Structure 1
Amino acid sequence: MQQTSEQYDAVIQTCRELFSKKMKDYGAAWRILRLPSLTDQIFIKAQRIRSLQENPVRKVDEGERSEFIGIINYAIMALIQLEKGVADEPDLSVDEAVRLYDEQVAVTKALMEKKNHDYGEAWRDIRVSSLTDLILQKLLRVKQIEDNKGKTLVSEGIDANYQDMVNYSIFAMIHLDS
């Protein structure tokens, strides 16, 4: 499982670097996005991945990898929004946003390590297309929870679903990189 931890960190480093660069380019404009807007952005990325997996013709020269990075970063933004609430205007410096990003990654990685231990690294035998489908399923669950005003009767909350999307995307990227 040490290999998984190292591979996880390598993927996150790539995502974090892009997040930091975009913060420098755009600032924290994403802070005004409500959770359904972030969910929809992730949904668009996941749908595009599924389309790329099913359709051999591509009209935009970007592959699955960049879309999985987008899912990871948008889901981490959503986790930050869950914790801090939506802002009326950009209110985070690059350093503060990256610190919050790192905090959410640490919590999400800890969850992955617990589940990975219990499931015995079963994700290594899951196809990238199945991981994509699982992300889409999580998105549909989140949309339903959002429609229910955040209330669930017996199910995990929105945060756990976003964390799973991050972890499934990282697993997919590890597969794509091997």
Structure 2
Amino acid sequence: MIDDKTLIARVVLADDHHAFATLVRRYQQAIRQFLRRLTSGDQALADDLAQEVFTTLYHKIASYRSEASFGTWLHSIAYRTFLNEKRKSHYANEVPYSDAIIEPMVASNAEKDLLVESLINRLGLAERTCITLAYSAGMSHQEIMEITQLPLGTVKSNINRGKKKVETWLHANQITRSVS
């Protein structure tokens, strides 16, 4: 497997469309999942934003500096793209609370996972972003700081507060499932 730096060099130096397509395939799922979480599960909007992210990537790839990993840099583009969309459309980042989302008994692990996903979507944007980057994307606190431009203490607080809220919601509905 060709590493990201080699693919980036091919795109920048030779306008290699196959190398760019490889980068897109490599990161597409992670970026779409990240954006889906930021948009509270709006798949159509997440897909539109992902397309915009990869278009932006194509035009800005020459400006990538390897101070951060390519994945971290790409997630920061996705985050800024989402924030720009939010500003333009006054996108509501809060999901209205509904008891109908939570049922007292959830039968399978898949249903529990879907419930956790819906509960994460109820978190505020900052908590949802930090939780998603930490647990879904597997990023370090430092990488989350770079993407969100939040101080370390705020990143840690958002993760801990978000985890506690989800665990409280699960516990209140007698569902045992660790968020971590």
What TM-score comes out, normalization by structure 2 length?
A: 0.29
Higher relative contact order (CA 8 A, sep 6+): 1
Greater Rg over alpha carbons, structure: 2
Higher helix share: 1
